[in-house]
Chains A and B, each alone.
Chain A
């Protein structure tokens, strides 16, 4: 069981808006640790998508956005495209684990 909880799967049709949630607790997200999101295409290493809750690295389309509130965070993808089909992971740190890193279990996004 992952410290951060994500839905195992979400789906949408091209052009649609989808949201992936990441639920933590008062020892990680709720403690003020930033949330980061990664996209992993099949057979490749993860790629940073959102960092510091809301920031997009250069080259990441503005269709991707992040937010954090309380003990949860969300990744929103608007104008869904076929190439967005991938696994998405949230990541943070946890004070009850002495500052260790923690990941969500991952969410498989299917573009129908």
Chain B
């Protein structure tokens, strides 16, 4: 079965960077399914951040995160990664990776989420 398993919670100081991993299994990582990253601040809604094409490494970032977010993928371990730099307190959120289906572009499988807390 398809699974996306994310790395554990992080606590970071303002100005630092955080990297979250998303290990996939149950399907062919490099065929047909982009990986998206979505975040949710405490008590707030979902916010789309970016996607990566695991086959080519091509990426698309939301304008808001341009220059601060970097997506990566490791085809040897079927793992996607998201690094967010220059952290601020308002980056405190749960970060999700999600797989895009290869037909209508919905997000059909989600990781369990990774809480990132930014605090001095």
Chain A interface (Cβ < 8 Å from any Cβ of B): 2, 34, 36, 38, 40, 45-48, 51-52, 55, 57, 87, 89, 91, 93, 97-106
Contacts and interface: CB of A to CB of B under 8 A. Distances in A.
Contact of B48 (A45, A47, A87, A101): A101
A2 to B, nearest CB: 7
**Range of interface residues on B (Cβ < 8 Å):** 20 to 34
Interface in B1-49: 36, 38, 45-48
B45 A104 contact: yes
B32 to A, nearest CB: 15
B44 to A, nearest CB: 8
Contacts of B38: 46, 101, 103
Contact of B46 (A57, A97, A103): A103
B1 to A, nearest CB: 13
Contacts of B60: 98-100
B108 interface: yes
A102 B105 CA distance: 12
Given A36-B104, A91-B107, A45 B45 contact: no
Q: Which A-B residue pairs are the 8 nearest by beta carbons?
A: A101-B48, A51-B106, A52-B104, A36-B106, A106-B45, A45-B110, A103-B46, A105-B45
Interface string B46-79: 1110010000000010110000000000000000
B46 A89 contact: yes
Contacts of B81: none
A83 B107 CA distance: 22
Contact of B63 (A91, A100, A105): A100
B104 A103 contact: no
Given A97-B62, A100-B63, A101-B36, A51 B110 contact: no
B45 A89 contact: yes
